């Protein structure tokens, strides 16, 4: 399986920032041995698609589960698709822990993404206190169990394992930690366990190769280190080119 390198820009890079990013990123990665994905702010999606000039896929960072309605400030999966997105990040740690998104809402969003023909990239991950209390497996099984019944084998989806304590903190799971958690997620997916599972949480050029060489790690979801084109290109360059 070709490794997936996904950037999650969070609330960074509007249209001019996106255009500037790609003008500096494209010359760095002329032949790309990876599947490249960008989760841009909604308002920068069109500018990103227009200026990318490398084979890449684009997604939104959040969707609402309704197709349309009096829901000020929300974007539906259908609208994201119309704007050129082909993937949607769902249940990112910041959505869960800053905006209080629940497992039930995550599931509704997964169903909405599938309905609209978007590839859901569903984020799961434990808090530090849950890990310390030995609850890693219970938490991951619970989060995966909340949405896996809404998916079938004929629609692409991905899972991103992002330990909450490693996001934006500079703390990274070891490759062994990642392999263990990914194994748990894969088992919890049951017959859909072939889906790609990305690792996220302080991925950088210096740790990307070892994380992506860990068992069951099919790629990375990168936050802070995806904002700078040279740094993100360094992660692309560090990606092992083929799955062993």
Per CB under 6 A, residues contacting ligand PGA are: 8, 162, 167-168, 200-203, 221-225
Catalytic residue among 13, 57, 64, 92: 92
Residue nearer to ligand PGA on the CB measure, 66 or 237: 237
Least Å from the CB of residue 190 to ligand PGA:
25
Respond yes or no: is residue 78 known to be catalytic.
Answer: no
- Count of all residues that appear for the chain in the document: 244
- The least distance separating ligand PGA from the CB of residue 222, rounded to whole angstroms, comes to 5
Using the minimum distance from each CB to ligand PGA, give the nearer residue, 184 or 225: 225
Q: Which is nearer to ligand PGA, 67 or 218 (CB)?
A: 218
Task: Say how far apart CA 77 and CA 69 lie, in whole Å.
Answer: 12
Residue of minimal Cβ distance to ligand PGA = 223
Residues 6+ positions from 110 with CB-CB distance below 8 Å: 90, 120, 122, 147, 150, 151, 157
Examine the residue annotation and report whether 162 is marked as an active-site residue of this protein: yes
Rounded Cα gap, residues 194 and 157, in angstroms: 10
Which tokens belong to 89? 């990040």
CB of 38 to ligand PGA, least distance (A): 12
Whether 41 and 61 have beta carbons less than 8 Å apart is answered as yes
Least separation in angstroms between CB 17 and ligand PGA = 17
Token digits of residue 163:
């330990």
Q: Which CB, 31 or 57, lies closer to ligand PGA? A: 57
Contact (Cβ atoms closer than 8 angstroms) between residue 191 and residue 153: yes
Q: What is the CA radius of gyration of the chain?
A: 17
Task: Name the β-bridge partners of 8.
Answer: 39
Catalytic residues: 92, 162
């Amino acid at each position: 399986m070709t490794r997936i390198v996904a950037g999650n820009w969070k609330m960074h890079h509007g249209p001019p920032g996106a255009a500037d990013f790609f003008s500096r990123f494209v010359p760095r990665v002329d032949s790309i041995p990876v599947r490249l994905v960008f989760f841009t702010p909604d308002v920068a999606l069109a500018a990103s698609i227009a200026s990318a000039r490398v084979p890449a896929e684009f997604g939104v960072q959040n969707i609402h589960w309704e197709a349309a309605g009096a829901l000020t400030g929300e974007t539906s999966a259908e609208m994201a698709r119309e704007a050129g997105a082909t993937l949607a990040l769902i249940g990112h740690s910041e959505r869960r822990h800053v905006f209080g998104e629940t497992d039930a809402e995550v599931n509704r969003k997964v169903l909405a993404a599938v309905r609209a023909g978007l590839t859901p990239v569903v984020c799961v991950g434990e808090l530090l206190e849950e890990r310390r209390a030995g609850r890693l497996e219970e938490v991951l099984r619970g989060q995966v169990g909340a949405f896996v019944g809404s998916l079938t084998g004929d629609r692409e989806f991905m899972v991103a394992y992002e330990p909450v304590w490693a996001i934006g903190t500079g703390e990274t799971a070891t490759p062994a930690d990642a392999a263990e958690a990914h194994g748990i997620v894969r088992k919890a997916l049951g017959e859909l366990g072939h889906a790609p599972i990305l690792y996220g949480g302080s991925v950088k050029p210096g740790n990307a190769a070892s994380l992506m060489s860990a068992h069951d790690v099919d790629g990375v979801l990168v936050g802070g280190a995806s904002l700078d084109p040279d740094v993100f290109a360094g992660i692309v360059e560090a990606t092992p080119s083929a799955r062993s």
